[in-house]
Amino acid sequence: MLGGLNVPIRMGAVTVLPGDVVLAKRGGVIFVPPHLAEKVVATSEVVRLRDMFGIGRLKEGTYTPGQIDSKWSDAIEKDFSQWLNDHIDELPVAKEQIQKLLESRTW
C-alpha cells in the first residue's frame, strides 16, 4: 500500500528526506542532505589526494607514519601543494578542481 510520495521515511534508525543523496557500499548506506552533497564530494576528494600523497611519501621514506598520520607541519603542507602542482595532469581529480582547492586551502 502506498503511504505517500516525496515524504520523509524511516529506514532503520535514520530518517530519509526527499532529495537526499544515497551512497550505498558493502559496509553500509549513508544519506547526505542535498545542500551538503557538493561539500561532501569535494572534501572526500581532498582526503583521497592527501592519502595518495601520504602513501607515496611513506613508500619513499620521506616521512614517518607518525608525521603523516598526525596534523601535518607547514613543511609537509608545502610539500603536498608542490606535489599537487607537479602531478596535476595525472591525478584522478579534475585539474580545475585541484586549482580551486589550492586557492581555497580550506582543509
* 17 vs 48, higher pLDDT: 17
d(CA 74, CA 49): 17
Domain assignment present for residue 83? The answer is yes
Domain assignment present for residue 24? The answer is no
What is the count of structural domains for the chain? 1
Domain assignment present for residue 25? The answer is no
Domain assignment present for residue 5? The answer is no
Domain assignment present for residue 56? The answer is yes
Nearest alpha carbon to residue 52 among 20, 107, 90, 101 = 90
Whether pLDDT at 105 is above 80: no
| pLDDT at residue 103, as a whole number | 75
Domain assignment present for residue 28? The answer is no
Domain assignment present for residue 43? The answer is yes
Question: Residue 75: which domain range?
Answer: 37-104
pTM of the model: 0.72
Domain assignment present for residue 26? The answer is no
Whether pLDDT at 3 is above 90: no
